[in-house]
Structure 1
Amino acid sequence: MLDLRRVLKSKPKPPENVELTPLWTPWGEKIAAGRAVPAGEKDLDPPSHPRPLLARGAWTSLNGIWECAFAPAPDAATAWRTAPVPDGPWEPVRVPFSPEAPLSGMGRQLRPDELLWYRRPLEAPALGPGERLVLHLDAVDWACAVYVNGVRVAEHTGGYLPFSADVTDALRPGEKNGLAVCVHDPSDAGTQLRGKQRLARGGIWYTAQSGIWRDAWYEVVPAARVTSLAAEARPAEGRVLLAVGVAGEGTVTARVLDGGSEVARGSAPVREGRCELALDVPAPRLWSPADPHLYDIELAFGADRVRSYCAFRTVEVRPDARGVPRVHLNGEPLFLRGVLDQGWWPDGLMTPPSEAALAHDVRAARELGFNLLRMHIKVEQPRFYALCDREGMLVWQDMVSGGGPYSALHTSYVPTLLRASWTRRTDEGPRARRRLSAADPAYRREWRETCAGTVGLLAGHPSVVGWTLFNEGWGQFDARAACDAVRALDPTRPVSATSGWYDRACGDLFSVHNYFRPLEVWPDRARPRRAFVISEFGGVSWAVPGHVSLGTSYGYEAASGAADFAREVRGLLARADALEAEGLAGYVYTQLSDVEEETNGLLTYDRRVNKLLT
């Protein structure tokens, strides 16, 4: 039965151009105040390596105060590649926070007909014989051209994946060097991947951001060096397979260590820029949430030294002893108790104010009884996944959505009212693509490339136990082909091709959203071997006074106060837990924290109040 009262109460309202009330997390407050780091204060320790699966001992952060300028550009969609540096005015901006984020110090929205320019001095060190300086930008939203001393050294499109450039030949030894970045971001005025961002925020859509929003840094490396590493630990075989990309010729030596002690070693020659090694690890200790055991990896290639890690674990969907399809970790059924993680912050938007802030969210979820975070329509920084690896928190990773303007009729109203539509609509062909905002071939190409890049970026993290490809029909197209492509890239993890509705009878999960009907297990008539999960439900709203961004709030059921909120939420979670006995393989509660107008988080947006513990 559909709860029409709840549906009507949760109907999205037209966005209002109302200023957000400033909210500061404890970590962002310290940054904004320019507070010095007291000796021994753990929350403010320097961050760990920005790429923990391919780390060298020395790296230099370029985060901090840059200058930025906004330049009018009616032709911004093409001009970003060749536009001249503007005269200004130039204003200070704190990187890696987008200019729209309070922590940037700007509070300025980039418009689709503007270009955003960054510049800063590049204090390049003196390079030894054969050394190279590689610049890393870990996320720039959306398209950018990068210059060193006026020489274009890189260009990149795609707002969620990292890229790098060897800038050595553009440096001027013994002189001042300068770094500049030109950015174009149409946000939802374009069709590119954008996730939950919208220029007119409101309801489930959040403030659009732009520009550099993850770490900027560089490292000095030998000319002959490791360029990539993929590690696959196979428990049944007791071995680690390493695929190493290199620049140069020679031999790669690899070591696997457990608690500092070497347990395996091997060497292999480089052939055509590649090297593959298989290292035997006797009686490997398995990774699990209860025992998140990691093995360290060390690589040596000439003068280059690289650190990484891996873990032994398996994850699959198969029948349990009663024949019910479930997610199995290391061969044992595991009931997924998940919570939706948007990864947004009032002071940093998509950029967490610190690594300690990420740790706070992961640990808060665990303390509330969850064993899984669904990283929702966002690729988080690698430190987050490394933290989950160490903490034993499972992650179900969504792909980022995009496409044209979404039709509320097709992505909300029809599937909400007519459950039969969930399995009877195709996403193949021109008509379906128009209906689901996926008509632009450039969008479809970017989605495929970013999907593959996301799998490649995160495949080495044992905490990541599955992929979600499309959510609620947003820009959905050819889900069956997409599922096959991801399986080919990564056969070791389950795939949820669609989350919410418009199921295409593929993948490993029958994944539904249920905000407006009684919680129950629905039969999977299309593909009975899939596990049934409720990948979104709940959404009880409570706006805690003094901890909200807006006077209006959005959720699926409003609680009157702390006691009412806790009673409603705990009741929903208990009902979901009880469905395990009826065949439910897992759930994802909406959601971990409030975000702007959404007040249905278990934590307030500023992370200062845990609503279930109030």
Structure 2
Amino acid sequence: MQRVPVLFLLLFLAGYVQAQQNWQVVPGHITTQWSANVDPANPLPEYPRPQLVRKNWQNLNGLWQYAILPKAQEETIPASFAGNILVPYAVEAALSGVGKTVGKDSVLWYKKVITLPAIKKGQQLILHFGAVDWRCTVYVNGKKAGTHQGGYDPFSFDITALLKKGKEQEIAVSVWDPSDEGPQPRGKQVKKPNGIWYTPVTGIWQTVWLETVPTTYIVSTKQTPDIDTRSLSVQTKVANAQTGDLVKVTAFDGTAKLSEYTVTAGEEVKVVINDPKLWTPENPFLYTLKVAILRAGKVVDEADSYFAMRKISMGVDGNGVQRMLLNNRFVFQYGPLDQGWWPDGLYTAPTDEALKFDVVQTKEMGFNMIRKHVKVEPARWYYHCDQLGMLVWQDMPSGDLGARWEPRPAVEGIGYDMERSAESEQIYRTEWNAIMESLHNFPSIIAWVPFNEAWGQFKTKEIVNWTMQKDPSRLINTASGGNFHAAGHIIDLHNYPLPAMPSVELFGAKYVIVLGEFGGLGLPLEGHTWQDKNNWGYRSYKNKEELLTNYSQLIDKFPALIKKGLSAAVYTQTTDVEVETNGLMTYDRKVFKIPVASLKQVHNKLYDINLVTMK
């Protein structure tokens, strides 16, 4: 009885040793403590889609083969490859084991031979990609499975018809990414990094995985809470539904069943939640949701999810000023600008523990909000925010820069739009739609930010009105620090380094007033910087004590601003990023420039609910 587990262990160890021999972190830059915990035989092993969980899945992260070839070979699978790359770390990242750039004139190829479990008759095999930057084409056993454009949204292909006999199957992926030489959303990636602009990210940068499903299966759910009616709207998308198929939705508080509803497939369900436990940063309570497809009384497919009862809205205070409300109460929102970059993984955190670390520490510092800046994170990051009670403002990743910037709104509606090509517009619209759909179910997200500082800002009113119609359950920050148009719910000013706010007299009656960026106090620490010299911050200090003193002086200015009409503020920033050294933590996350306890003490004065009386 002991031989099987011993044999299994020996095979596992042999595979682990081989993986270690074929991969190592590229030297040359600082790394985080989690680099040492990356298992090349099984990196990022956690289930990647916490809002729709099934048991039948297989993680394909690990060592793949790679090649960088001329762009002309984008549609021809290479006969030979250059070496190994550790998926899902981008080819430029140290954790990929490659550390090379690609550029618009080249294409990145991946290949991996995988071993499949037995697939029963009537089952389908879905190949999932969390995110690939930017355009990729997927082949299975030499046949095209599909093409996808978009660096920040998940996608999948049904590859059942492309499988060959036997357990071994070959997957190949080509990726083309022009970085800042193309019109596509790319956030802060540039060919020549400097200042606030960082290293390009090309290729697979989130988990790749397989999922076995029946022919009729749950593709997705859309869950929207309404605390005023004590209900949750659930819309379920079902693939290949048959006449008579039903969808059963069950809500649980822990193990206690609260309510259960059965409707025709495709029909919306209103799940009643009596005496709801409201989700807040102090008490981030999550309910369990189970969804199943029934046919003739039998379960065809089922998946687990979760939801929260929370509401984000705006309302007038006793002085006639619009305020941002959480669950119908004013809560001042204060958090860091969070870039989500890593010195060893670039767009990809080394481990799930590392991914969670930033959120945990942000909460410990006394922040209740994060502005996710021109980047989208893996689903598990939002899952951690949901569990920990962190409010999130989600930016659309910028691209195709070039609009004229009017940073300080003086009258309602002043602003400028750039003209983007038809192709550029379509790329933006398609990806923003996909991002919003993929993130809709995460209750931590309470605001969408379509534009930042006029970066690629175009047809603002049209985009904002469409965003509001698509998701009326959240607030829309039209243009954070950018060109203000008479649209959306929020007017947002950027001001460095001192706190400031848009005019209450001009805008307070119609818009929520926020400070979308301020601060940027820099402190480069030797041994913890991306490069030894020429690091940069909006304003730099000599030591931690000086930094704490000046930071505290900035925070002391907020109570008066909050009383006047300010609803939220965003400090730049969570961590250093490459040469930008204005983080509260160093880029490697090894040093807190201001003690966590000191930050929490300084921030506590901002959350006194008695500062604002609502009508």
Q: TM range, normalised to the smaller chain? A: 0.7 to 0.9
- The aligned amino acid for 1:267 is T
> Structure 1's 21 and 564: CA in aligned 2 closer, same or farther, altered over 3 A?
farther
Distance 1:106 1:421 in 2: 51
- The aligned amino acid for 1:260 is T
| Counterpart mapping for 1:25-424 below 5 A | 25-31=32-38, 47-73=45-71, 75=72, 80=74, 83-174=75-166, 176-247=168-239, 248-249=241-242, 250-270=245-265, 274-301=266-293, 302-404=299-401, 406=402, 410-411=404-405, 415=406, 424=414
Query: What's the counterpart of residue 6 of structure 1?
Result: none
Question: Deviation of residue 125 (structure 1)?
Answer: 1.7
Which of 517-526 and 172-181 deviates more?
Answer: 517-526
| Contact 2:248-2:262 within 8 A present in 1 as well | yes
> Structure 1's 422 and 106: CA in aligned 2 closer, same or farther, altered over 3 A?
farther
- Residue of structure 1 aligned with 2:544, choices 558, 562, 565: 562
Query: What's the counterpart of residue 5 of structure 1?
Result: none
Which of 19-28 and 507-516 deviates more?
Answer: 19-28
> Structure 1's 487 and 20: CA in aligned 2 closer, same or farther, altered over 3 A?
farther
3-state SS, counterpart of residue 556 of structure 2: helix
- The aligned amino acid for 1:565 is L
Q: How many residues align?
A: 562
3-state SS, counterpart of residue 545 of structure 1: coil
| Contact 2:573-2:582 within 8 A present in 1 as well | yes
Question: Deviation of residue 480 (structure 1)?
Answer: 0.9
3-state SS, counterpart of residue 442 of structure 1: helix
Structure 2 residues not aligned, in runs of 5+: 1-25, 294-298, 597-615
Question: Deviation of residue 52 (structure 1)?
Answer: 1.1
Distance 2:285 2:306 in 1: 10
| Contact 1:148-1:180 within 8 A present in 2 as well | yes
| Contact 2:499-2:554 within 8 A present in 1 as well | no
Distance 1:370 1:196 in 2: 24
Q: 1:157-196 deviations in whole A, cap 9, x for unaligned?
A: 0111010011011111325310000110011111111111
> Structure 1's 95 and 284: CA in aligned 2 closer, same or farther, altered over 3 A?
same
- Residue of structure 2 aligned with 1:609, choices 580, 585, 591: 591
Query: What's the counterpart of residue 41 of structure 1?
Result: none
Distance 1:573 1:517 in 2: 9
Which of 191-200 and 527-536 deviates more?
Answer: 527-536
Distance 1:609 1:256 in 2: 43
| Contact 1:510-1:524 within 8 A present in 2 as well | no
Question: Deviation of residue 487 (structure 1)?
Answer: 0.8
> Structure 1's 20 and 528: CA in aligned 2 closer, same or farther, altered over 3 A?
farther
Question: Deviation of residue 423 (structure 1)?
Answer: 6.0
Question: Deviation of residue 47 (structure 1)?
Answer: 4.7
Distance 1:173 1:462 in 2: 43
> Structure 1's 397 and 20: CA in aligned 2 closer, same or farther, altered over 3 A?
farther
3-state SS, counterpart of residue 563 of structure 1: helix
| Contact 2:286-2:307 within 8 A present in 1 as well | yes
Distance 1:49 1:573 in 2: 39
2:503 maps to 1:522: yes
- Residue of structure 2 aligned with 1:487, choices 452, 468, 480: 468
3-state SS, counterpart of residue 56 of structure 2: coil
3-state SS, counterpart of residue 359 of structure 1: helix
- Residue of structure 2 aligned with 1:425, choices 415, 426, 443: 415
| Contact 1:317-1:325 within 8 A present in 2 as well | yes
Query: What's the counterpart of residue 13 of structure 1?
Result: none
Distance 1:335 1:303 in 2: 46
- The aligned amino acid for 1:28 is S
Query: What's the counterpart of residue 7 of structure 1?
Result: none
| Contact 2:395-2:449 within 8 A present in 1 as well | yes
Q: 1:278-325 deviations in whole A, cap 9, x for unaligned?
A: 222221111111111111111121331201111111111111233221
Question: Deviation of residue 422 (structure 1)?
Answer: 10
| Contact 1:576-1:587 within 8 A present in 2 as well | no
Question: Deviation of residue 90 (structure 1)?
Answer: 2.5
- The aligned amino acid for 2:496 is Y
Distance 1:126 1:184 in 2: 34
Question: Deviation of residue 521 (structure 1)?
Answer: 5.1
Distance 1:147 1:100 in 2: 23
Distance 2:118 2:145 in 1: 19
| Contact 1:521-1:582 within 8 A present in 2 as well | no
Query: What's the counterpart of residue 549 of structure 1?
Result: 530
- The aligned amino acid for 2:313 is E
- The aligned amino acid for 2:562 is E
Distance 2:327 2:373 in 1: 25
3-state SS, counterpart of residue 555 of structure 2: helix
Report the aligned-residue RMSD: 2.1
Question: Deviation of residue 530 (structure 1)?
Answer: 0.6
- The aligned amino acid for 1:511 is D
2:565 maps to 1:579: no
Query: What's the counterpart of residue 29 of structure 2?
Result: 22
What is the TM-score normalised by the length of structure 1? 0.88
Distance 1:195 1:544 in 2: 26
Compare relative contact order (CA 8 Å, sep 6+) and give the higher one, 1 or 2.
1
Distance 1:89 1:332 in 2: 58
2:592 maps to 1:592: no
3-state SS, counterpart of residue 386 of structure 2: helix
> Structure 1's 526 and 49: CA in aligned 2 closer, same or farther, altered over 3 A?
same
| Contact 2:497-2:521 within 8 A present in 1 as well | no
Question: Deviation of residue 359 (structure 1)?
Answer: 1.5
> Structure 1's 554 and 213: CA in aligned 2 closer, same or farther, altered over 3 A?
same
| Contact 2:140-2:162 within 8 A present in 1 as well | yes
Query: What's the counterpart of residue 461 of structure 1?
Result: 442
- The aligned amino acid for 2:86 is R
Distance 2:585 2:331 in 1: 26
| Contact 1:99-1:108 within 8 A present in 2 as well | yes
| Contact 1:403-1:440 within 8 A present in 2 as well | no
Spell out structure 1 runs of 4+ moving beyond 4 A. 418-423
> Structure 1's 573 and 144: CA in aligned 2 closer, same or farther, altered over 3 A?
same
